[in-house]
Structure 1
């Protein structure tokens, strides 16, 4: 199974560089059929004018899309007609019809100035398809002359470089981050790999390159003596983003000695298990006594040294860093308890609960105490601790779970009214959580439970437009709205100037751009990791972003809709449950392969795939092919459902841990409350997996099912009201 990134190693998150947020698609049901009304009639009027933005045309089948665009192009002059001309030309170029594409491009730069440079680029490509070399060269030259500072000029310079290398040199000097420049640099390195200055350009600007780690290794192995401290910082950042923390730490040791870099030296040594982390962290404390990274260094030190010294480090955190004092006190209490100093441990916990009552550490303590009382069948005391958490720590990680269980414990005590109030509170305050789904189910909403969710076939409505990007040039935003995702992504690589320390808006935009070109793994990661921002102003920006539908639609995209819907129908599975599992398994990356060999969207093991193929008499298949993978994976998910009489919780657990393990848990647990069973799953990974899959399912349901979305809007201010239009 695909393992998620570990968030605890992050500090000063940097962006990596793209889902089509709110993918542009007309209203569609899971039946797989378009609405009966003609798509062209729905989008265009009799006079050829458009009823909706031409950006909505992207989701139409190619032939219908071309016909719709042609109808608008024949209409009256308007901004939408210019957009239609541009999209029609792009469509024709994709089809290899360069000569036909020239007509909609004729003088389009005059009526569509925001994408004038792109118009010239398309014109040059049209001439190229026609074999008209003279006009190709002339158009590229015109682009450079008229728009010398526009990043699209990089593509012209690289194209002209074939005849005159000085143009390529100009592209490298002027637009080093443009993907076309990067491609040129890669070509030059193939011809002569011994060019450290070009290798550094890849290191600084092309984290997405397939050979990126090879480049970093070449620089550190062969050119270390030539590298400057800032070069080492870029290399270290690259290793860090690729999760090679040992190599990152070694590189940070040669970078400028800043608080962040100093901390990452120690963390890299610790995660790389190379030794020396203790000394590195101690240097951070000595060199930067008041830096926020020092608090983290002290907390790490407390895990590496003997208990007596650890307590002194934790005391130092509590004295110097109020924001981390709660965490330090909680760790101190645990250490004292391990040393049988129970009285002192209790005193420290009391200080934590009084002086730092609103800290995350206090929430963790309250929840552990609630769980202890619940396990001892003391529902009353458990509920008291859970309600204390919801009062003092409503924004903590444990709050949704504690609020839900306060309802469960209230039910055990026969307090049905209080239980109902607790479940409603989960939906109101934490509508995105796994426990919101459990609460909705307990309240009788038509969302399914563990035994019935498989059979549901919820209606799903996709958004009809894309959100506005929070940052970026006008051209970037225009290209994104038009669905010209690859061109928008290229432009973003140039515009994104500070990937090591992005703003909240930049990081969100970077995630969206990654998603738009199919980099779902890092795109979802970039968006989801915004929750880790710890500065107050950034936390407020994040909370504001969370109130927008675009944030949630970015986290829960809908790629591979057709094969998911087709094979879910064939296996009689809830298509949103299949989508939820794929999101958890692979983040929608069809070519991804785990360390143990699980491959593709549903992470099918080769041996399992061969066994399934034999069962369904499938002779030829590829695990990295989306349709084949979903065909095999859904068969196995149906199989695990059959093994457990249609119980989706056990089926999902079995998909992760295997039927043998789950069978043993069931035999041991007997007729147990399903919520208790989930909490008692002995494999930590499987317990988290089950909750994550059903949380994914619930979020797809609440975001894209009009009925549930509307119902949540009525009870929760945290649920975006504009998720989907009414069906």
Structure 2
């Protein structure tokens, strides 16, 4: 039986009061919700910030194939706790699923992720749109991309959304072209429109300006020059010329710079471009172009370069007059100019004047590279004549006066060797320690470490050594680019990272040190190892003060050396060095010198592949090991054949790696002659006496590579060096 309702009026009043309270709170609910949301988002961002400094399991999976990392990522993604690790795992799982066209599962991973992973929020929306597209929910896909454009209008990721939306409505393509012409996706839209209607010079100019570093854009530049020359502004010509220059079309660049604004660099490139790629006998044209710089911009760095170039292409007497101008107007260039002037005076038979010039060089410019080179030439000649004291006396100042000279490591080592010969053992040890601590990256640091008795291997025992190798488990943080780019790079989302960085660099054809290093990292992950390694190496050649400062700071980081001495094809190298009982670091070092890890590279004489195996040698070795249907461009085949041959040269010379490596380059016949002629009791003297300049440099480079791989990746050697520098 139901109980009667008591005090009905009070209930009504109470419910009315409750209703009034509820009605009264409705206008404030959005603010309260917004406040709660802000607090929650702040907590998430604080958590993510704290997580950034912690070790990351997800980042160690960046280069692991999707099918091999899926289970681990799922474990991390299924955590009940919000964290940067969970967000990264969910993002990578979604990315892997989308690549397999599995839109539904990807959408589940992406649900709400933009709030938990604000660093990549625009990309979460981009991928969510793709997920909807794959599940055939086209309207939701478009709405998601529109949301991205509205919420992140200035993000370069919006350009990718506009690219996708352009497939449904061409007005979005117009928006992309207007706002994001630097983005590769936008440039794809532009190229498609040019296919449909080639007569659109404004679109041609956008590609010339924003896709300047692409050699394929030279066709665009050619069309602009040929068909629209009269309509181009000086600024247009500047963009065209810069693009030609960046793609090494120097003569075309020189012609375009003639119509660009009159600037010192442009005038210099007019002259230099025609000098590098001459059309016929144009020496007088080049000289006149350099002379224009001296008239119009006489105090600029380009004027100094012009004087140097004019001196090199002029007759001795005229060249000396240019050098005198250089000495007078540009004190920083005086030392090199004096050294060059002394050589010209010798050619003219004016040895007395040349001697006075060199004395001025020694007394007035003791710290210059020119002085270091002169000192070394005297020391080397003295050593060849057996005068160790004179050699030591002339070379020793290089180690203190010219510590940054390229000759400094070599001078320090040989100062030690000559001190040993003179019985000055303390001086010798000091010189060797100086070479190791001041120039740890040098081949001569390794030779000095051997002299100091360090356990770093020597020519006669490297082959049998199996050094421990410890490689980084995660990618380092690039020094340039946006936070989104850096996160993509570390996650191993290489395609998106490369596209984004290219867009971020915009219309620039020249990068600073950190940007160029970052660009080199991207080349390395694409397997463009020759370009990547060389680009890192050439950073030291940027000679303006700001670039030098950036480079010096960068080379103090492990990341710099990892990029300069990478480990492509590590598994292949390990496999075949174990079978041949060869030191894997020695093979890696030889490969770096031979091919810069380019599997399809070919030399002018026909050597091919990673270890630059000659076809005849490859055929001979293949017959020995009964290998059929091989290709020298195939990494596995090439390393198989190359390591067999390197093992053969080691067997030929009783496991002396110096002779084996020299033989790999110059052939066993030549090396056998050198051994008889020069002896090998002192291997360092033997290296200096190798008559083939290429082979001498090859030996020093391979073993210099070996030392660098050892000091970078072997913890024991790293600790030795760290202790020595304390």
Same fold (TM over 0.5): yes
**Which residue pairs with 1:43 in the alignment?**
none
Change (3 A) 1:221 1:407: farther
**Which residue pairs with 2:420 in the alignment?**
411
Q: Is 1:366 aligned with 2:381?
A: no
**Which residue pairs with 2:720 in the alignment?**
711
Match of residue 237, structure 1, among 220, 236, 242: 242
Shift of 1:433: 0.7
Shift of 1:101: 1.6
- Rounded to whole Å, the distance in 1 between the matches of 2:293 and 2:660 is 48
**Which residue pairs with 1:463 in the alignment?**
472
- Rounded to whole Å, the distance in 2 between the matches of 1:556 and 1:355 is 39
Q: Hey, which of these two has a bigger chunk of helix by percent? A: 2
**Which residue pairs with 2:113 in the alignment?**
108
Change (3 A) 1:510 1:375: same
**Which residue pairs with 1:580 in the alignment?**
589
Equivalent residues of 2:209, 2:507 under 8 A apart: no
Shift of 1:553: 1.6
Equivalent residues of 1:229, 1:256 under 8 A apart: yes
Shift of 1:380: 0.7
Match of residue 328, structure 1, among 312, 337, 353: 337
Q: Secondary structure of 1:454's match?
A: coil
> Comparing 147-156 with 533-542, which one deviates more in the overlay?
533-542
**Which residue pairs with 2:323 in the alignment?**
314
Equivalent residues of 1:486, 1:517 under 8 A apart: no
**Which residue pairs with 1:42 in the alignment?**
none
Equivalent residues of 2:212, 2:243 under 8 A apart: yes
Match of residue 516, structure 1, among 518, 521, 525: 525
Shift of 1:240: 3.2
Structure 2 unaligned spans of 5+: 1-53
> Comparing 190-199 with 531-540, which one deviates more in the overlay?
190-199
Equivalent residues of 1:185, 1:198 under 8 A apart: yes
Q: Secondary structure of 2:463's match?
A: helix
**Which residue pairs with 2:27 in the alignment?**
none
**Which residue pairs with 1:688 in the alignment?**
697
**Which residue pairs with 2:76 in the alignment?**
72
Shift of 1:189: 4.5
- Rounded to whole Å, the distance in 2 between the matches of 1:588 and 1:189 is 38
**Which residue pairs with 2:130 in the alignment?**
125
- Rounded to whole Å, the distance in 1 between the matches of 2:219 and 2:573 is 36
> Over the residues paired in the alignment, what is the CA RMSD in angstroms?
2.6
- Rounded to whole Å, the distance in 1 between the matches of 2:103 and 2:504 is 30
Within a 5 Å distance, the mapping from 1:171-320 to structure 2 comes to 171-191=176-196, 195-206=200-211, 209=214, 211-220=216-225, 223-274=228-279, 275=282, 276-320=285-329
Shift of 1:401: 0.5
- Rounded to whole Å, the distance in 2 between the matches of 1:708 and 1:441 is 12
Change (3 A) 1:513 1:406: same
Q: C-alpha offsets along residues 189-237 of structure 1, whole Å, 9 cap, x if unaligned?
A: 5555555544444443336646344444555555545444334433433
- Rounded to whole Å, the distance in 2 between the matches of 1:133 and 1:410 is 79
Shift of 1:628: 3.0
Within a 5 Å distance, the mapping from 1:343-362 to structure 2 comes to 343-362=352-371
Shift of 1:351: 0.8
- Rounded to whole Å, the distance in 2 between the matches of 1:239 and 1:483 is 32
Shift of 1:118: 0.7
Equivalent residues of 1:431, 1:716 under 8 A apart: no
Q: Secondary structure of 1:449's match?
A: coil
Equivalent residues of 2:213, 2:509 under 8 A apart: no
- Rounded to whole Å, the distance in 1 between the matches of 2:605 and 2:185 is 35
Structure 1 unaligned spans of 5+: 1-49, 718-727
Q: Which has the larger radius of gyration?
A: 2
Equivalent residues of 2:622, 2:628 under 8 A apart: yes
Q: Is 1:89 aligned with 2:98?
A: no
Match of residue 147, structure 2, among 142, 148, 153: 142
Shift of 1:664: 4.5
Shift of 1:676: 2.6
Within a 5 Å distance, the mapping from 1:580-599 to structure 2 comes to 580-599=589-608
Change (3 A) 1:625 1:214: farther
**Which residue pairs with 1:54 in the alignment?**
58
Q: C-alpha offsets along residues 143-193 of structure 1, whole Å, 9 cap, x if unaligned?
A: 223322211122222223233333233323322222222333444455555
Shift of 1:713: 0.8
Q: C-alpha offsets along residues 388-431 of structure 1, whole Å, 9 cap, x if unaligned?
A: 11121111111000001111111222333322221111111000
- Rounded to whole Å, the distance in 1 between the matches of 2:298 and 2:314 is 19
Q: Is 1:603 aligned with 2:612?
A: yes
**Which residue pairs with 1:401 in the alignment?**
410
Shift of 1:459: 0.5
Shift of 1:652: 2.9
- Rounded to whole Å, the distance in 2 between the matches of 1:622 and 1:123 is 44
**Which residue pairs with 2:31 in the alignment?**
none
Equivalent residues of 2:182, 2:506 under 8 A apart: no
Shift of 1:501: 4.3
Change (3 A) 1:251 1:692: farther
Equivalent residues of 1:407, 1:420 under 8 A apart: yes
Within a 5 Å distance, the mapping from 1:529-544 to structure 2 comes to 529-544=538-553
- Rounded to whole Å, the distance in 1 between the matches of 2:676 and 2:59 is 55
> Comparing 690-699 with 477-486, which one deviates more in the overlay?
477-486
Q: C-alpha offsets along residues 356-389 of structure 1, whole Å, 9 cap, x if unaligned?
A: 1111111111111111111111111111111111
> Comparing 79-88 with 221-230, which one deviates more in the overlay?
221-230
Equivalent residues of 1:597, 1:605 under 8 A apart: yes
Shift of 1:115: 0.6
Equivalent residues of 1:489, 1:517 under 8 A apart: no
Equivalent residues of 1:266, 1:280 under 8 A apart: yes
- Rounded to whole Å, the distance in 2 between the matches of 1:181 and 1:679 is 56
Q: Secondary structure of 2:702's match?
A: helix
- Rounded to whole Å, the distance in 1 between the matches of 2:672 and 2:226 is 51
Shift of 1:703: 0.7
Change (3 A) 1:458 1:263: same
Equivalent residues of 2:212, 2:509 under 8 A apart: no
Q: Is 1:507 aligned with 2:511?
A: no
- Rounded to whole Å, the distance in 2 between the matches of 1:120 and 1:623 is 46
> Comparing 253-262 with 318-327, which one deviates more in the overlay?
253-262
- Rounded to whole Å, the distance in 2 between the matches of 1:126 and 1:425 is 60
> Comparing 370-379 with 255-264, which one deviates more in the overlay?
255-264
Change (3 A) 1:692 1:455: same
Change (3 A) 1:73 1:714: same
> Comparing 529-538 with 299-308, which one deviates more in the overlay?
529-538
Q: C-alpha offsets along residues 30-68 of structure 1, whole Å, 9 cap, x if unaligned?
A: xxxxxxxxxxxxxxxxxxxx9635212224564452212
Match of residue 172, structure 2, among 153, 156, 167: 167
